[in-house]
C-alpha cells in the first residue's frame, strides 16, 4: 500500500492498482493525475477538507465513484454521498474502511461543534480528521497525525500520538503553519512517535510512504 501526502489534509492511498482519496480540500488547488479512483472519504464538512469542484471532477472522471462522509457533507455535496458514523464499516474496491470518532475537536466555545469521522484504511492507515479520536483496539501501522490547526495545541497532538502508539507516523493539516512552524511541530510529533518505538516520516506534499 502506498500513501501519498498532498497539501494539508489531502491524501491518496493506492493499493492493487486502485486509489482512495481522503479529504481533497481547498488547500489542494490541483488534484493532479487521477488514476482508477474507487472511493473518496471526507471526514467532515469544513472547506479545507473538501470542495464541490474537487468532488465534481472526481465523479466526472469516475462515474459512480463511492463517496463517504458525514450527514452535513452529504447534504451539501453535488454528488451522492454515503453517510457514515463511528462504528460503520465499508469495502470499496481494494479498500476496507472502518470509521471512528464522531466530533470535531473544539476550536472555541463560541463555534458550534460539527460531526467528524476518523477512518482506518485496510486496518493499517488511520487518519482522524480534525479530532484526537483514538481507534480503540487497533494496532495502528501508520498514523496521519495533525500538526497544526486553530483547534490544535502541539502538546495535545503529542499526547495523541503517544496514545495511539503508531509504528509509523507523518504530519498532516500543516498549511496553517509557517515553514519554521511546520518543522518545529513535526519535530515534536517525531519525538512522540519514537517514545513507543515508532518512526516519524516528515513528508512534504507530493511525497509518499510505502508499507
In the predicted structure, residue 29 carries a pLDDT above the cut 90: no
Total number of residues shown for the chain: 211
Spell out the domain ranges in the chain. Answer: 2-201
Which cell is 38 given? Answer: 474507487
Cell numbers 470499496: residue: 92
pTM: 0.96
Check pLDDT > 90 for residue 102.
no
Rounded Cα gap, residues 152 and 192, in angstroms: 16
Burial of 79 (0-12, 13-18, 19+ CB in 10 A): middle
pLDDT at 33 over 90: no
What is the CATH code for 2-201? 3.60.15.10
**167-208 confidence digits (pLDDT tens):** 999 999 999 999 999 999 999 999 999 999 999 999 999 999
The pLDDT of residue 30: 84
Model confidence pLDDT, tens digit, residues 113-155:
999 999 999 999 999 999 999 999 999 999 999 999 999 999 9
Amino acid at each position: 500500500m502506498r500513501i501519498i501526502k498532498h497539501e494539508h489534509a489531502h491524501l491518496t492511498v493506492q493499493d492493487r492498482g486502485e486509489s482512495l482519496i481522503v479529504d481533497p480540500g481547498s488547500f489542494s488547488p490541483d488534484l493532479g493525475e487521477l488514476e482508477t479512483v474507487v472511493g473518496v472519504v471526507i471526514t467532515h464538512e469544513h472547506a479545507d477538507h473538501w470542495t464541490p469542484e474537487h468532488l465534481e471532477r472526481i465523479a466526472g472522471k469516475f462515474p459512480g465513484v463511492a463517496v463517504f462522509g458525514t450527514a452535513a457533507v452529504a447534504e451539501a455535496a453535488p454528488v451522492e454521498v454515503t453517510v457514515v458514523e463511528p462504528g460503520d464499516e465499508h469495502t470499496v474496491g481494494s479498500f476496507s474502511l472502518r470509521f471512528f470518532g464522531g466530533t470535531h475537536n473544539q476550536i472555541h466555545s463560541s463555534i458550534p461543534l460539527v460531526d467528524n469521522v476518523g477512518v482506518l484504511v485496510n486496518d493499517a492507515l488511520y487518519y482522524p480528521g480534525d479530532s484526537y479520536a483514538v481507534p480503540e483496539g487497533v494496532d495502528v501501522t501508520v498514523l496521519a497525525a495533525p500538526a497544526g490547526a486553530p483547534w490544535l495545541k502541539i502538546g495535545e497532538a503529542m499526547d495523541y500520538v503517544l496514545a495511539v502508539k503508531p509504528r509509523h507516523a507523518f504530519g498532516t493539516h500543516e498549511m496553517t503553519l509557517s515553514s519554521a512552524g511546520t518543522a518545529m511541530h513535526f519535530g515534536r510529533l517525531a519525538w512522540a512517535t519514537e517514545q513507543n518505538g515508532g518512526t516519524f516520516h516528515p513528508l512534504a506534499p507530493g511525497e509518499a510512504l510505502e508499507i
